[in-house]
């Protein structure tokens, strides 16, 4: 008896393969929803497992027609066996069912997690974290902590929840979001070109204007490109807030003086190549006279994790207080966030999630952010 197993996303995919491989009259024996593991066994995705047999192998009256079986399968994907193979001699039927069961068991074994024991769970968490963008040393540390503190050690050596607990515990207070303080008056935004500094400033300015509690002013030292000044001016016009411009460090004090009536001044800086020490030096020259109460380093989540680490290291002379992560909408890997928080020992102020001003900005705890992993680590 030819019985084949198909694992597909959608039924029509299986139907096409079954027809092609087992003929037009093939019979669907069973369908059920399964989860297949990806990413070294840590991600799992829903699939439909379809067992099908070539029709000529069955007795003439056996089973539902392909079409009927398909309809049923679509209507209620669930575990089913070919209960309608009535005209087969019982012994033959029993034999075939045993064969199907064995094949299903084999197939499940292939999907099953790796055995416990040895360092496999450790390696798997470690690999998962690194794939998610966590620095290698931290990945190993957090994998060990997750296994050590696992509440459910039976499950592949800890669950995603254990991992998140471990990271949150390790970061302590740094795992809590840290938006701009109430008592900060001058807040500067630094970071590489194109990460979203100006857009993020516009979002934060808009939210404060909408809240109506603080008089917001904008200062830009980004006169490197005409378009950059225009961009911030446009936002200032829309929000009806004052804007000052400083071309040179010497102009900063007078520009700030023109914003004396504001109790929150958001300072935009030129996007520069943060991998170049000379660029950092230039940014620092502009930033020093600003005397910011808080300096926020803006990093795009679309950056390669290794580059983000370099950027964060290069930015040290700028005395960064907090991190902003932009473009969460452009990635599925959030491991860079706890990794940089740990490496810089600085909390996250905001996370931005798109181009819309002011909607696409969030104040997220590390737990909220990492909860995205629960999706991929499900044990279905
Ligand atoms: N997808 C996405 N795009 C963003 C986000 N924040 C900013 N951008 C876009 O990134 C580009 C550069 O933004 P800009 O604020 O000019 O960057 P700056 O050079 O750091 O000031 C613009 O097209 C923004 O609309 C975000 O959270 N998600
Ligand atoms: Mg800009």
pLDDT at residue 375 tops 70: yes
Higher pLDDT, residue 12 or 207: 207
Q: 3-class SS at 83?
A: coil
Residues 6+ apart with CB under 8 A from 259: 217, 219, 242, 244, 265
The predicted structure's pLDDT at residue 226: 75
**Nearest-angstrom CA–CA distance, 149 and 216:** 46
308 CA → ligand 1 middle, Å:
16
345 CA → ligand 1 middle, Å:
25
The predicted structure's pLDDT at residue 74: 41
304 CA → ligand 2 middle, Å:
20
268 CA → ligand 2 middle, Å:
7
In the block, tokens 């000379």 appear at 278
pLDDT category at 348 given cuts 50, 70, 90 is very high
Residue nearest to atom 6 of ligand 1 (CA): 196
What average pLDDT does the structure give for the chain?
83
Higher pLDDT, residue 14 or 140: 140
Average pLDDT over residues 42-62: 66
Higher pLDDT, residue 222 or 174: 174
Residue spans per domain, the chain: 3-111, 120-174, 177-364
The predicted structure's pLDDT at residue 99: 67
356 CA → ligand 1 middle, Å:
10
Separation of first and last alpha carbons in the chain: 31
- The fold adopted by the segment(s) 177-364 is Rossmann fold (3.40.50)
pLDDT category at 5 given cuts 50, 70, 90 is confident
Residues 6+ apart with CB under 8 A from 113: 37, 41, 156
Residue nearest to atom 19 of ligand 1 (CA): 194
Angle at 284 between CA 280 and CA 290, to 5 degrees: 150
The predicted structure's pLDDT at residue 107: 52
**Nearest-angstrom CA–CA distance, 7 and 14:** 8
In this structure, of 20-29, 53-62, 253-262, 271-280, the range with the lowest mean pLDDT score is 53-62
pLDDT at residue 152 tops 60: no
Q: What's the pLDDT tens digit per position in 54-71? A: 865 443 334 444 445 444
Average pLDDT over residues 107-129: 66
Angle at 375 between CA 372 and CA 380, to 5 degrees: 160
Quote the distance between the C-alpha of residue 6 and its chain's center.
30
Average pLDDT over residues 159-185: 95
Packing angle of the helix pair 136-148, 160-171 (nearest 10 deg): 110
Pocket of ligand 1 (CB under 6 A): 191, 193-199, 271, 326-327, 329-330, 352-355, 360
Answer whether the bond into residue 358 is a cis peptide, omega within 30°: yes
Inter-residue contact 97 to 81 (CB < 8 Å): yes
pLDDT category at 88 given cuts 50, 70, 90 is very low
Ligand nearest to the CA of 200: 1
Higher pLDDT, residue 56 or 113: 56
Residue nearest to atom 14 of ligand 1 (CA): 196
Ligand nearest to the CA of 222: 2
Inter-residue contact 45 to 36 (CB < 8 Å): yes
The predicted structure's pLDDT at residue 165: 94
pLDDT category at 76 given cuts 50, 70, 90 is very low
Residue nearest to atom 17 of ligand 1 (CA): 196
Average pLDDT over residues 174-187: 97
H/E stretch holding 52 reads strand 43-53
pLDDT at residue 228 tops 50: yes
Atom number of ligand 1 nearest to Cα 326:
27
Average pLDDT over residues 72-99: 51
% the chain with pLDDT above 70:
77
Higher pLDDT, residue 38 or 368: 368
* Residues having C-beta closer than 5 Å to ion ligand 2: 197-198, 228
365 CA → ligand 2 middle, Å:
26
Distances (CA, A) of 38 to 48, 109, 217, 331: 15, 15, 49, 18
**Furthest-apart CA atoms within the chain: distance in Å:** 97
Atom number of ligand 1 nearest to Cα 201:
15
pLDDT at residue 109 tops 60: no
Residue nearest to atom 4 of ligand 1 (CA): 355
Atom number of ligand 1 nearest to Cα 193:
19
Average pLDDT over residues 280-300: 96
**Nearest-angstrom CA–CA distance, 351 and 276:** 25
**Nearest-angstrom CA–CA distance, 25 and 249:** 80
The predicted structure's pLDDT at residue 64: 41
Ligand nearest to the CA of 199: 1
pLDDT at residue 155 tops 60: no
The upper half-sphere exposure of residue 92, i.e. CA atoms within 13 Å in the direction of its Cβ, equals 10
Higher pLDDT, residue 98 or 361: 361
Among 26, 18, 102, 21, residue whose Cα is nearest residue 58? 26
In the block, tokens 């001016």 appear at 233
């Amino acid at each position: 008896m030819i019985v084949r197993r198909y694992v597909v996303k959608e039924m029509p995919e299986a139907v096409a393969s079954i027809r092609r491989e087992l003929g037009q009259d093939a019979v669907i024996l069973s369908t059920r929803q399964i989860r297949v593991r990806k990413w070294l066994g840590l991600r799992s995705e829903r699939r439909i497992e379809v067992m099908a047999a070539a029709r000529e192998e069955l007795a003439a009256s056996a089973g539902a027609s392909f079409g009927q079986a398909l309809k049923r399968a679509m209507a209620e994907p669930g575990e089913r066996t070919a209960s309608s193979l009535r005209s087969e001699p019982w012994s033959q039927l029993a034999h075939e069912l045993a064969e199907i069961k064995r094949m299903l068991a084999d197939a499940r074994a292939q999907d099953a997690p790796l055995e416990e024991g040895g360092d496999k769970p450790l390696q798997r968490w470690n690999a998962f974290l690194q794939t998610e963008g966590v620095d290698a040393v931290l990945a190993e540390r957090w994998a060990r902590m997750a296994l050590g503190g696992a509440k459910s050690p039976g499950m592949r050596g800890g669950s995603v929840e254990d991992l998140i607990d471990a990271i949150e515990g390790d970061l302590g207070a740094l795992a809590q979001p840290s938006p701009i303080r109430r008592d900060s008056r001058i807040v500067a935004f630094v970071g590489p070109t194109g990460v979203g500094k100006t857009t993020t400033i516009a979002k934060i300015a808009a939210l404060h204007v909408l809240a109506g509690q603080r008089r917001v002013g904008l200062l830009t030292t980004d006169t490197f490109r005409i378009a950059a000044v225009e961009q911030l001016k446009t936002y200032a016009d829309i929000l009806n807030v004052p804007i000052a411009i400083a071309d040179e460090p010497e102009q900063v004090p007078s520009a700030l003086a023109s914003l004396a009536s504001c109790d929150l001044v958001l300072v935009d800086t030129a996007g520069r190549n943060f991998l170049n020490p000379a660029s950092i030096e230039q940014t620092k020259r502009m930033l020093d006279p600003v005397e910011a109460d808080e300096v926020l380093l803006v990093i795009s989540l679309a950056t390669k994790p290794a580059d983000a680490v370099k950027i964060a290291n290069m930015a040290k002379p700028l005395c960064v207080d907090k991190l902003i992560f932009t473009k969460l909408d452009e990635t599925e890997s959030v491991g860079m966030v706890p990794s940089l928080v740990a490496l810089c020992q600085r909390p996250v102020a905001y996370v931005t999630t798109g181009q819309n001003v002011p909607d696409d900005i969030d104040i997220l705890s590390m737990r909220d952010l990492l909860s995205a992993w629960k999706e991929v680590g499900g044990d279905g």
